[in-house]
Amino acid sequence: MLKISHPARLNAFGFCQILLIFAVASLRVGVACSDQPQPRSEIKNVVLIISDDLKASVLGCYGDLVCRTPHIDALARSGTVFQRAYCQGTWCAPSRQSFMHSRYQNGTGVNLGANFQNQGFYSARVGKIYHMRVPGDIIAGTNGLDLKSTWTERYNSAGQEAHSPGDYACLNLDIFTDELANRQSTKMPHRPFVTVMLDGDGADQPDAKSAAKAIEIINEKSSSNTPFFLAVGLVRPHYPMVAPKKYFDLYPWQSIKPPIQIPNDLADIPPIGRAKSTSQKSGIADFPDNQKRMWAGYYASVTFMDDQVGKIISEIDRLGIRDSTAIVFTSDHGYHLGEHDFWLKSNLHEEVTRVPLIIDAPGYRPGVTSSPVELVDLYPTLSSLAAIKTPAVVEGSDLTPILENPNYRVRETALSINNGYALRGDAWTYIRYTDGAEEFYDMNSDPNQFQNLVNDPKAKDGLAEARAALNTRIQRSALSLKQKKKKKSTN
């Protein structure tokens, strides 16, 4: 039987794969910075695909060879992989509001889809882009916090979620059944630990419906030669982790090795920095095998989602519009699956703040970059790729110079916000909470963030640098906000 190890660990083949991607990137020829956007004749369409609760570390193109994501990995080989992309909000609602407006903490100004509409594009949403309750709004087929002004048309993809026929498990309660009654669902406390191994092929699932509707729109708009901005929101691997049995069969739980745990791991993490959901509080600590089953369910959901991504990209290829269509793949935030005994999201550690980001745009060669970027950068980047204007109120930066030259930087750090701030530098992460508590990690020697160096005399200089960098980011953001408000009032 295949031995599955923790996704943070690379085998030799995986390491060689990453080296190959870097080798391709090194062949890339481009200027360090281009102030001119790509000509409209080259990029007519933009397809933005957003997965839900997807941590970067489980994708093959980010170094993991356990979880099978062939379609996302293929997109990575043809586009630019951003190794250090970070969300601004650490759960769905603030993150999605943030990147759809390119604002760190609010949703003011012209949103991304409206900006495309205002400049002659058809703008459509399929599935979850702004916050929707999963499973609540998915089961009901309702809009959640979606903003109608963003879209020319919008489509919800409903599904039964935990009520889908199949083998149901509530893993923190150690419940297994194929009965449809008494399943954990909307607003129920144990719903994050639910998996469902479907009886069917998954065609009735929200993500399959979203892929089918996206393909319909792409066909319609390409046949009429209408430039379009299409945002496709896939809800997996967000709980409940629902996928057909064939995807679960790829990941036998008996062979999964959970994340490394160390004694007294939480002793140097301040109380405000600890996840609300832990192995002990949830009860899953009592069932070590079920922690492995959680990983199997997550992997199965990711691979099912990846197949939907593949369907959309294959249709773009079939229609012959790949050379005029920019494709972007990302997630709203990452996720904990037992690291530090943490589960879910909404904290400021690396597994939550780091997200995948792949941009495949005509006219740019494949590459990999370690330049720090933020999800607020999506708005100005997509606008630049489509050669449309970006409103002055946005706070993100255009990433097209990095597409030209992977060594180029638009910023030196990446900022995430929730009960304080996490600032990711090249070699460190610094976290400052609203109560003044701090965490500081050497990300080169301690990428899993096991040793908080705040009180380590040897880290004094690095900590001072990080503190100053965060102060500067906060001050610049506040100053920028004042300037933009003043400018707006004079227009």
- Binning pLDDT at 50, 70 and 90, where does residue 31 land? very low
Q: Which helix (H) or strand (E) holds 311?
A: helix 288-318
Residue 65 confidence (pLDDT) = 87
| Model confidence at 406: pLDDT above 50 | yes
- Domains, in order of start, for the chain: 41-489 (3.40.720.10)
In this predicted model, what pLDDT tens digit does every residue of 435-446 receive, in sequence order?
999 999 999 999
| Model confidence at 421: pLDDT above 50 | yes
Asked if 101 contacts 47 with a C-beta cutoff of 8 angstroms, the reply is no
Say which residues have a Cβ less than 8 Å from residue 207's Cβ, sequence separation at least 6.
Answer: 127, 157, 234, 235, 236, 304, 305, 308
pTM of the model: 0.90
| Model confidence at 6: pLDDT above 70 | no
- Binning pLDDT at 50, 70 and 90, where does residue 299 land? very high
pLDDT > 90 in the chain, percent = 87
Residue 477 confidence (pLDDT) = 73
The CA–CA distances, whole Å, from 242 to 100, 160, 224, 235, 246 equal 27, 10, 36, 10, 12
Pick from 453, 428, 301, 297: which is nearest to 372 by CA? 428
User: Distance between CA 385 and CA 425 in Å, rounded?
Assistant: 27
| Model confidence at 72: pLDDT above 70 | yes
| Model confidence at 153: pLDDT above 90 | yes
Q: Is the peptide bond before 252 cis (omega within 30 degrees of 0)?
A: no
| Model confidence at 22: pLDDT above 80 | no
In this predicted model, what pLDDT tens digit does every residue of 233-256 receive, in sequence order?
999 999 999 999 999 999 999 999
Task: To the nearest 10°, report the CA torsion of 122, 127, 130, 131.
Answer: 170
Asked if 79 contacts 406 with a C-beta cutoff of 8 angstroms, the reply is no
Residue 491 confidence (pLDDT) = 31
Taking the alpha carbons of 30, 36, 37, 41 in that order, is the dihedral positive or negative? negative
Kindly report the number of other CB atoms within 10 A of residue 178's CB atom.
Answer: 11
What is the mean predicted confidence (pLDDT) over 262-284? 96
| Model confidence at 13: pLDDT above 90 | no
- Burial 292-328, CB ≥16 within 10 A → b, else e: bbbbbbbbbbbbbbbbbbbbbbebbeeeebbebbbbb
Kindly report the number of other CB atoms within 10 A of residue 418's CB atom.
Answer: 22
| Model confidence at 486: pLDDT above 90 | no
Residue 106 confidence (pLDDT) = 82
- Burial 252-280, CB ≥16 within 10 A → b, else e: ebeebebbeeeeebeeebbeebbbebbbe
| Model confidence at 170: pLDDT above 60 | yes
Residue 41 confidence (pLDDT) = 45
- Binning pLDDT at 50, 70 and 90, where does residue 311 land? very high
Rounded to the nearest 5 percent, the helix, strand and coil shares of the chain are 40, 20, 40
Residue 478 confidence (pLDDT) = 65
Q: Is the peptide bond before 380 cis (omega within 30 degrees of 0)?
A: no
| Model confidence at 55: pLDDT above 50 | yes
Tell me which residue has tokens 């929707």.
132
What is the mean predicted confidence (pLDDT) over 132-152? 98
- Binning pLDDT at 50, 70 and 90, where does residue 411 land? very high
| Model confidence at 49: pLDDT above 70 | yes
- Binning pLDDT at 50, 70 and 90, where does residue 42 land? confident
Q: What does residue 224 show for φ and ψ, rounded to 5 degrees? A: -95, 5
Say which residues have a Cβ less than 8 Å from residue 78's Cβ, sequence separation at least 6.
Answer: 360, 366
Q: Which helix (H) or strand (E) holds 465?
A: helix 460-489
User: Distance between CA 308 and CA 46 in Å, rounded?
Assistant: 17
The region of weakest confidence among 28-32, 119-123, 167-171, 464-468 is: 28-32
* More reliable by pLDDT, 108 or 451: 451
Task: To the nearest 10°, report the CA torsion of 246, 175, 166, 57.
Answer: -40
Mean pLDDT, the chain, rounded, equals: 91
